[in-house]
Amino acid sequence: SQQGEEDPQALSIQEGENATMNCSYKTSINNLQWYRQNSGRGLVHLILIRSNEREKHSGRLRVTLDTSKKSSSLLITASRAADTASYFCATDKRDDKIIFGKGTRLHILP
Amino acid sequence: DAGITQSPRHKVTETGTPVTLRCHQTENHRYMYWYRQDPGHGLRLIHYSYGVKDTDKGEVSDGYSVSRSKTEDFLLTLESATSSQTSVYFCAITGGQGQPQHFGDGTRLSIL
């Protein structure tokens, strides 16, 4: 399976600090995506990084991809209470499906 | 937000009864997916569709069937519900391979 696995499973930080989540996967991929899920809601797409890219930014989000290590990281800078959510990585090859990891639960403390 | 609606949002039913969940989209996207989300398992793909009347199995398809008779609707059916199918079910859509998926808000299904 090429399922991504997020690390850590849960993370609590103070508001204003940076949060870093990692994702590891097993086989070569076409691209990797990060999603956020607020409690009781569906997943929301955050950012997509292709296998030939090493870093992407979107607002306070920074994603890196290291294909040699089969890993990705999601950095959220200057965290806010609204960032409290679960975060999932998802990987795909060149087919119709993407495989989700089990997620990291992020809790921002006031 | 992408135009995707799941119905019902909540359902409680008994073991052995048939259940149908509906996903409706207004984006004219080609691909539609059904996932289930359970604690400790993340999201797992049940079935997906790559066009009208074109469907394929996912990772956990046993006990489920799907139908897509028109672009905008993708139905998930549990022919004879079991307690192990108690879960939160999500529908997602995308315009093509390698593109972001857009999710509905889920259906919470309880099988007693």
**Contact indicator for A90, A35 with CB cutoff of 8 Å:** yes
A9 in contact with chain B, both atoms CB, cutoff 8 A: no
Q: Which of residues 43-82 of A touch B (CB under 8 A)?
A: 43-45, 48, 50
| Ranges of residues in chain B whose predicted pLDDT is under 70 | 1-2
Q: Is the pLDDT of residue A95 over 50?
A: yes
Residues of chain B contacting A93 with CB distance shorter than 8 Å: none
Q: What are the tens digits of pLDDT across the range A4-21? A: 788 899 999 999 999 999
Cross-chain Cβ contact B48/A30 below 8 Å: no
What pairing do the DSSP bridges indicate for beta strands B87-94 and B102-103? Answer: antiparallel
Residues of chain B found within 8 Å of residue A99, distances taken between Cβ atoms: 45
Q: What are A62's strand-pairing partners? A: A57, A75
Token pair 């959220």: residue: A76
Higher pLDDT residue, A107 or B96? A107
pLDDT > 90? residue A96: no
What's the pLDDT at B67? 97
Residues of chain A found within 8 Å of residue B93, distances taken between Cβ atoms? none
Q: B89 and B7 in contact (C-beta within 8 Å)? A: no
The pLDDT tens digits of the residues spanning A27-85 come to: 888 899 999 999 999 999 999 999 999 999 999 999 999 999 999 999 999 999 999 99
Secondary structure of residue B26 in the 3-state scheme: coil
